[in-house]
Structure 1
Amino acid sequence: MNALTRWVPRLIIALAIVHFAYALATPNSWADMAGDGFWASAADTAAADYYKREYTLYFFAAGILLLALGTLARTLAHVTGRFPAQVGWYLIISGALLCVIEFPVTGGWLMVAIGVLGLVAARRAGTARPLTEATAGLDR
Structure 2
Amino acid sequence: MRALIQRVGEASVAVDGKTIAEIGPGLLILTCAMEGDAPEQTAKMAAKISKLRIFKDDAGKMNRSLADIGGQALVVSQFTLAGDTSRGNRPGFSTAAGPDEGRALYEKFAADIATLGIPVQTGEFGADMKVALLNDGPVTIWMDDQT
Asked if TM exceeds 0.5, the reply is: no
What is the TM-score of this pair, normalised by structure 1? 0.29
What is the TM-score of this pair, normalised by structure 2? 0.29
Instruction: Decide which structure has the larger Cα Rg and report it.
Output: 1
Structure holding more strand per residue: 2
Structure holding more helix per residue: 1
